[in-house]
């Protein structure tokens, strides 16, 4: 019987793992502002969410590249992978959602006016999903690089815009006013687009059906993330004003009422 080979321990410097992951840097980024141990949990989970925001933006831009190349199979694979990331993002709410109001209040003052609402990468996520608003650039004016990135994204096609453009190239009747609309504004539902999706769902083109279902999975998981945010906030702070000065629960309730890729939901009534 051969002896097991021991792992290499001496690399003459930093380990390949450290060079690749930069773990030592990651673990210096948690700076507590209070002495409450629960703040560390809140801080780490928030940073994990930020990493997932960036990863989702990366995946959706990749899907846009594949859609523009009319490689629907590759785009669907990317979208399905991003849905798993969204599921992990939603799971991150659980430890925060279990905090009592007293526990959250023990370090809430350390946040000051800080709020996840101010996350530039989350705003980028919303823009990629078609939830656009020029006013949402305002909180980022003091960070020029992020402001410039968001300003550029505001005027670019969303993921759904690229989906509809791909459907148009496949011969579907996507109206010109939808494709040529003001891209800096939030996407609004179209009866004609609704009928296109109804036609796709009545048909037997598996690639298009898979595309529709992958997008629906993302829309559903994103809605779940927003709703879990609402529940976590309601549970930890009730109806108090949010840390960023918003109406807190009332603001989040309003946000949960908007669905991304809206025609994918309403078209099902006509299949």
Looking at residue 7, what is its pLDDT?
Answer: 86
Res. 2 pLDDT band, cuts 50 70 90? low
The yes-or-no verdict on residue 208 having pLDDT over 90 is yes
239 CB contacts (<8 Å, ≥6 apart)?
248, 249, 250
User: 163 with 67: CB under 8 angstroms?
Assistant: yes
> What is the reported pLDDT for 35?
86
Sort 83 into a burial class: Cβ within 10 Å, 0-12 / 13-18 / 19+.
buried
Mean pLDDT of the chain: 89
Please check whether residue 2 lies inside any domain of the structure. no
- What whole-number distance in Å separates Cα of residue 206 and Cα of residue 248? 43
22 within domain boundaries: no
Residue 59 has pLDDT above 70, yes or no: yes
From CA 230, how far away is CA 202, in angstroms rounded? 35
184 among annotated binding-site residues: no
On whether the CB atoms of residues 238 and 172 are closer than 8 A, the answer is: no
Per-residue pLDDT reduced to its tens digit, 132-168: 989 888 988 888 999 999 999 999 999 999 999 999 9
Here the CATH number for the domain that contains residue 218 is 1.20.58.480
85 assigned binding-site residue: no
Q: Give the pLDDT score at 95.
A: 84
Phi and psi angles of residue 240, each rounded to the nearest 5 degrees, phi first: -65, 160
Domain containing 70 equals: 37-106+116-270
> Between the CA of residue 213 and those of 104, 111, 132, 208, what are the distances in Å?
38, 39, 23, 9
Q: Tell me, what's the pLDDT at 248?
A: 61
pLDDT at position 240 is 60
241: pLDDT confidence band, cut at 50, 70 and 90? low
Q: Is residue 108 a known part of a binding site?
A: yes
**In the predicted structure, residue 49 carries a pLDDT above the cut 90:** yes
Residue 218 has what DSSP assignment?
H
Does some domain include residue 8? no
In terms of Cα–Cα distance, which of 87, 70, 57 is closest to 168?
Answer: 70
Do the beta carbons of residue 172 and residue 199 sit within 8 Å? Answer: yes
Cα distances (angstroms) measured from residue 231 to each of 220, 221, 250: 16, 15, 12
Q: How far is Cα 160 from Cα 186, in angstroms, rounded to an integer?
A: 11
User: Has residue 21 been placed in a domain?
Assistant: no
pLDDT-based confidence at residue 255 (cuts at 50, 70, 90): low
**Residue 33: closest CA among 239, 240, 238, 243:** 243
Residue 123 lies in a domain: yes
Of 88-97, 175-184, 191-200, 203-212, give the lowest mean pLDDT range: 88-97
Task: Work out how many domains the chain is built from and give that number.
Answer: 1
Give the pLDDT confidence of 180-207 residue by residue, as tens digits.
999 999 999 999 999 999 999 999 999 9
Nearest alpha carbon to residue 268 among 185, 202, 203? 202
Evaluate the CA torsion angle 137, 143, 148, 153 in order and state its sign: negative
For 92, the enclosing helix (H) or strand (E) is none
């Amino acid at each position: 019987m051969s002896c097991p080979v021991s792992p290499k321990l001496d690399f003459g410097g930093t380990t390949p793992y450290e060079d690749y992951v930069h773990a030592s840097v990651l673990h210096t980024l948690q700076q507590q502002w209070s002495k409450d141990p629960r703040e560390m949990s809140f801080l780490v989970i928030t940073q994990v969410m930020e990493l997932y925001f960036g990863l989702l933006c990366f995946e959706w831009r990749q899907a846009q590249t594949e859609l523009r190349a009319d490689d629907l199979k590759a785009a669907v694979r990317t979208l399905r992978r991003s849905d798993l990331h969204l599921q992990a993002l939603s799971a991150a709410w659980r430890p925060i959602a279990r905090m009592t109001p007293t526990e959250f209040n023990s370090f809430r003052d350390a946040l000051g006016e800080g709020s996840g609402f101010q996350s530039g990468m989350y705003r980028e996520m919303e823009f990629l999903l078609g939830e656009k608003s020029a006013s949402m650039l305002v909180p980022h004016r003091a960070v020029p690089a992020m402001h410039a990135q968001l300003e550029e994204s505001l005027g670019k096609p969303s993921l759904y815009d690229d989906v509809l453009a791909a459907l148009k190239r496949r011969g579907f009747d996507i109206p010109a006013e939808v494709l040529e609309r003001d891209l800096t504004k939030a996407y609004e539902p179209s009866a004609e687009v609704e009928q296109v999706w109804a036609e796709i769902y009545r048909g037997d083109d598996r690639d298009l059906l898979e595309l529709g279902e992958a997008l629906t999975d993302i829309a559903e998981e994103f809605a779940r993330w927003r709703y879990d945010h609402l529940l976590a906030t309601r549970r930890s702070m009730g109806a108090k004003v949010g840390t960023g000065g918003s109406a807190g629960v009332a603001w989040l309730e309003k946000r949960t009422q908007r669905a991304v890729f809206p025609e994918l939901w309403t078209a099902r009534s006509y299949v």
